Amino acid sequence: MEPLNVDLVEFYPIDNSKNNRTEEYELVKNIEIPTPVLRRGEEFYFAVRFNREFDEEQDVIRVSFGFGPQPNIFKGTKVILTLLTRQTQFLKDTRRWGLILSRNAGDTLIMQAHISSVAQVGIWSCSIQTGIIGNKEIRNEYKCKENIYILFNPWCKDDPVHMENESDLEEYIKNDTGKIWMGTYRNPKGKPWVFGQFDEVVLPAAIFLLEKSGLPHMDRGSPVLVTRAISAAINANDEDGLIVGSWTGQYQDGTSPFAWTGSVSIMEEFFNNNGRPVRYGQCWVFAAATVTICRALGIPCRCVTNYVSAHDTNRSLTVDRFFDLYGNRIENGPDGLCNDMCWNFHVWNDVWMARPDLPIGYGGWQIIDSTPQEISDNKFRCGPASVEAVRKGEVGYSYDTPFVFAEVNADICHFQEDESSDWGFSKLSVNKYHVGRKILTKSPGKTDQEGDSDIWEVTNFYKNPEGSEAERLAVFNAIRGVPLAQQFYDIPSEITDDVFFDLVDIEVIPLGQNFDVVVDIHNRSSEERNISAMISASSVYYNGATAHNIKKAQGTFIVGPEEKETMKIHISPGEYLSKLVDHHLVKIFAIANVQETKQTWSEEDDFMVAKPALSIVLKDCGPRVGDSCTVVLSFRNPLDVPLTNCTVTIEGSSVKPKSFAVRDIEPKEVITIEESIVPKSDGEKMLVANFTSNELQGVEGTLGLVIDP
């Protein structure tokens, strides 16, 4: 008797996707070649048709699943399952693979397989092996042509990425649109983004990235190691990652970071160009692409924005700024080696998982950061760092917890030249412009397409209230684990101050309007005080680097006992418009010295010059899947100069991204554009439009759509 020969294998991708919660993936719904997309910890059915009827007494059937170029049973990358014909259900141990007979239809068998809840994540191959009982010499093997995607399963209690709350899963796994918070801590601004994790190009691109990351195949079942690999693979600083970072303002040989409206066009460019890195991105682009990759793989993920985010380059847990005798900032410090920065905002990601490598209580949300800032284990990457460890200052827990702790807790120290000091500088202040002013993410289950009511402040999860005993204890706990920080925090306390200074807050200025920078001075002593002060205003990139000096003023004041004085500089549009960069952020520094008491004071602040909005409305009624409909975009140039090299991008959760050039727009001109779109799926969707030019970047609008089947 000859072993069975396999004629056909059918994996029922669409039917299995319902039980595996993968029905949204376009790979599954592909009419020509539907692809099985499954989750570990779940079952799936497949049918095998043979050249004759199956004889239970004589035939042996084994199904082999392999992962990676060299599948190995001992490394967990190969599984050989013997078909059990008398077993009707799987063992309760979800960590084990299983294979049982569901139905015998003569020459066709319907089999049911159970995927281990800790299986490696990625593309698996499958082969069917047949033989005859008692005869080891004659065997047949059929290699299935289909690839099988196996993903993490946050619905499975035995998967480390398990998430209990169904509404959270709707947001952090299934929602293919969202918001990324930008702007300033006083005026947060949500940037709509189309994550598009179910698009047909995303899963192949995600697996391609993991291959390029070099993460061993045997480690691809660990969400800790997979997300650490992703944080390195998203940026292209080490090797051929996904996105090239640039903060120069020069993007002519690529796409401006401000022009992206979603991740799909990034993934398409990367995948279609055989893995050539896409130009360009900044932190929110890196973070958004990370959400797309993680959610596609089944890892709960969100974008988180930290306002006034420290970049501590020397692990001192402080951000140090130096000024000369005249109050001018000394870039990079007196020795040129101090590169500490404070980003006006910085966007990273939280991923949800258990942490079996850490003590109990440190699982849940973990911080990863794909923006290339510092090297960790020879690559630009960061995390996963436990949010709870960061909050408690437990900087000894992996990975990169000291760096993340400094991002939300570092003190900003101002130093000024002082000829009487042993090292040439004395401390001005540790000012109230504290790090980690506000930490935001999108509220789960809520979407505001016209405003920002879907904002959710999560600061208290990452740090204790500023100035509280718990916050100081966390800082001191961190200091104990970082030797260099112990030196920086051993700074003499400030002298008693009898002159009060206050840099008046500015929240937001409409583009093209005047503004004033004001310092209020109040002599609270019973004696006259001679005060020298300096105010400077500069345009800055959002990472804190100075772009252009806008204006500076210095003055000397004699302020009598209990008297008040005001120092002010007035700045007109003609002085700042041509100097604004990317997010239209302006940084203010103010420094003062009291001659009689040697009291010193310094403070810094930033604010945003607001950009106009892009209007987008639907021209046609009742858009339907597969039918063309028209949207109308309109925009007014707010500047007194023409806008040149204009580009508009449109992207939606059911609309392929498209980008097209627009003619130059004259000063104060209103332009209207009509463009057709073709929805690919039904339901409630979000459309995002972006306008970018040489003179004005990142002008956006959103539109909610209900697509009929």
Query: What is the maximal distance between C-alpha atoms in the chain?
Result: 112
Annotated binding-site residue numbers for Ca(2+): 409, 411, 466, 471
Provide the pLDDT for residue 512. 85
Could you give the CA distance from residue 22 to residue 39 in angstroms, rounded to a whole number? 8
How far is residue 707 from each of residues 145, 261, 622, 650, 688, measured CA to CA in Å?
A: 35, 20, 7, 17, 15
Question: Is 176-483 assigned to CATH 3.90.260.10?
Answer: yes
Check if the beta carbon of residue 613 is closer than 8 Å to that of residue 601. Answer: no
DSSP class of 708:
B
pLDDT tens-digit readout, 309-318: 998 766 666 7
SS (H, E, C) 622-635: CCECCCCEEEEEEE
Whole-number pLDDT of residue 482: 57
Q: Which residues participate in catalysis according to the annotation?
A: 283, 346, 369
Q: Which residues define the annotated binding site?
A: 409, 411, 466, 471
Domain boundaries defined on the chain: 6-151, 176-483, 496-610, 615-707
Query: For 378, left (φ over 0), alpha (ψ -120 to 50), or beta?
Result: left
User: Half-sphere exposure of residue 176, counting CA atoms within 13 Å on the CB side?
Assistant: 22
| Confidence at residue 86, expressed as pLDDT on a 0 to 100 scale | 85
pLDDT, residue 694, reads 87
DSSP element (H, E) containing 364: strand 364-368
CATH topology identical between 6-151 and 176-483? no
**Which H or E run contains 108?**
strand 108-114
pLDDT the model gives residue 127: 97
CA distances from 445 to 22, 24, 170, 177, 453 (A): 20, 18, 7, 11, 12
Specify the CATH class of 496-610 in words: mainly beta
* Cα–Cα distance, 466 to 409 (Å, whole number): 9
Residue 421, helix vs strand vs coil: coil
Contact 381, 374 (CB under 8 A): no
Q: What are phi and psi of 15, to 5 degrees?
A: -65, -45
pTM of the model: 0.90
Whole-angstrom distance, CA of residue 161 vs CA of residue 155:
8
- Say which CATH topology domain 6-151 has: Immunoglobulin-like (2.60.40)
pLDDT score for 409: 87
pLDDT digits (tens, 9 = 90+) for 291-347: 999 999 999 999 999 999 998 766 666 777 788 877 777 877 777 666 778 899 999
Nearest C-alpha neighbor of 599 from the set 493, 489, 494: 494
Residue 429: what pLDDT? 61
Q: Provide the total of helices (H) and of strands (E) in the chain, helices listed first.
A: 13, 40
Whole-angstrom Cα distance, residue 91 to residue 103? 19
DSSP state letters, 556-621? EEEE-TT-EEEEEEEE-HHHHGGG--TTTEEEEEEEEEETTT--EEEEEEEEEEEPPP-EEEE-SS
Please report the pLDDT score of residue 481 as a whole number.
Answer: 54
Distance CA 331, CA 335 (A): 10
Mark the ranges of the chain whose per-residue pLDDT is less than 70. Answer: 313-317, 336-338, 428-433, 467, 469, 471-472, 475-496
Question: What local confidence, expressed as pLDDT, does residue 502 receive?
Answer: 92
pLDDT at 61: 96
The CATH class, in words, for 615-707 is mainly beta
The structure tokens 């004005």 sit at: 696
Q: Is 688 helix (H, G, I), strand (E, B) or coil?
A: strand
Non-local (6+) Cβ contacts of 188 within 8 A are 181, 182, 305, 307, 438, 440, 452, 455
